[in-house]
Amino acid sequence: MVFGKLREGLSRTRNRIAHALRRLGGDTSTAQSLEALEEILYTADVGPLAGELLADAEKQLRGGRLAGPKELPEYLRGRLSGLVQGPEGDPLPLRPKGPTVVLIAGVNGSGKTTSVAKLAAWLQRRGNRVLVAAGDTFRAAAVEQLRIWCGRVGVDLVAGAPGADPAAVAHDAAEAALRHAVDVLLVDTAGRLHTQSNLMAELNKIGRVLGRKIEGAPHETLLVLDATTGQNAIQQARRFTQAVPVTGLILAKLDGTAKGGAVLGIGSELKLPVKFVGLGEQLEDLEVFHPGEFVDALLAAPQPA
Ligand SMILES: Nc1nc2c(ncn2[C@@H]2O[C@H](COP(=O)(O)OP(=O)(O)OP(=O)(O)O)[C@@H](O)[C@H]2O)c(=O)[nH]1
Ligand SMILES: [Mg+2]
């Protein structure tokens, strides 16, 4: 069950806050409840927002807009799901005509290549024709890794010789996408170059080359963030969003982290929709992000083992 995977992935975060959550819903004083709320927010690594949320809750209680501490769990649920934006409809809307180009960016090791493979599988499942471009020519093994994934998914890959100019690969991939009339071209990119400014310049160059071949491309630039890095991911994201027009986030490695709440902090801080979450290393471990479902999974009562 799809919902099951999200719950399972968030189990460490949920278990850490479960105790405080019980106190929050229990028969406690306002002060104790606020303390429990604070514990939940900090444990889940919601980030700087925690203070704000807490102050708001206190104000609501004092002003009588919340009848009592018993209403705090519902208040928390509402506030948390309002913090972060989901894709609101189709996370990857396709152009009516011509290939939709999706550029995948992020620091090294964040989960880009795996996310490209998962996205290819996801698109294929919904009946789209997909082509993948190996835009990471910096790391020798990168193309091979992507080739194996594409073989598993059953999609074609456009790659250059080792050390090739990634913009040239993007150029060839765009031409192939047009020639084969695919629905989506997914472009993997390098996470590390000699310098940070090289990386951003290269991403921009890839984008320009794609745009010269296919109108409006890249239509989406998705930034892949490693959810286990919690608040650090925000710093990374800031650097990328300053350099390239990021249209949405993929939060990878949400499974197994105890910092699941960071998603909310990241999403609301960056004012970018979280389009997908990565919940494992397999092809099917990618889900469309829905704020309400996410918060429900985060705050759900622990399931009997
Ligand atoms: N548990 C878990 N592991 C993941 C997830 N996504 C990626 N990984 C793992 O994270 C590691 C790095 O993933 P890659 O997809 O190679 O990351 P990358 O951003 O392409 O890395 P570079 O190409 O080196 O920049 C691999 O071991 C993946 O299996 C996820 O959602 N959950
Ligand atoms: Mg990679």
**Rounded CA separation 196/109 (Å):** 15
Give Cβ neighbours of residue 220 (< 8 Å, ≥ 6 apart).
Answer: 92, 100, 101, 102, 103, 247, 248
pTM, two decimal places:
0.92
Nearest by Cα to 87 from 224, 272, 223: 272
Q: Which ligand is nearest to the CA of 111?
A: 1
Give yes or no: residues 55 and 132 share one domain. Answer: no
Give yes or no: residues 57 and 125 share one domain. Answer: no
Q: Which ligand is nearest to the CA of 250?
A: 1
* Cα 3 to ligand 1 centroid, rounded to whole Å: 22
Give yes or no: residues 224 and 172 share one domain. Answer: yes
DSSP state of 70: G
Q: Which domain does 58 fall in, by range? A: 2-83
Q: In the listed set 57, 83, 109, which residue is the last one of a domain according to the structure?
A: 83
| CB burial readout 46-69, b (16+ within 10 A) else e | bbebbeebbeebeebbeeeebeeb
Give yes or no: residues 123 and 250 share one domain. Answer: yes
Which residue is associated with the tokens 């090289």? Answer: 198
Give yes or no: residues 120 and 247 share one domain. Answer: yes
Query: Tens-of-pLDDT digits for all 305 residues of the chain?
Result: 445 788 888 888 888 888 888 888 788 888 999 999 998 888 888 888 889 999 999 999 999 999 888 899 899 999 999 988 999 899 999 999 999 999 999 999 999 999 999 999 999 999 999 999 999 998 879 999 999 999 999 999 999 987 899 999 999 999 999 999 999 999 999 988 777 778 899 999 999 999 999 999 999 999 999 988 877 888 888 889 999 999 999 999 998 787 888 888 888 888 899 999 999 999 999 999 999 999 998 888 655 54
| Pocket of ligand 1 from Cβ distances under 6 Å | 106, 108-114, 136, 139, 142, 191, 252-253, 255-256, 278-281, 285
Q: Which CATH number belongs to the domain containing residue 281 in this structure?
A: 3.40.50.300
Atom 6 in ligand 1: residue holding the nearest Cα: 111
- DSSP H helical ranges for 180-214: 196-213
Number of folded domains in the chain? 2
In a domain, 296, yes or no: no
Nearest by Cα to 50 from 10, 83, 14, 20: 83
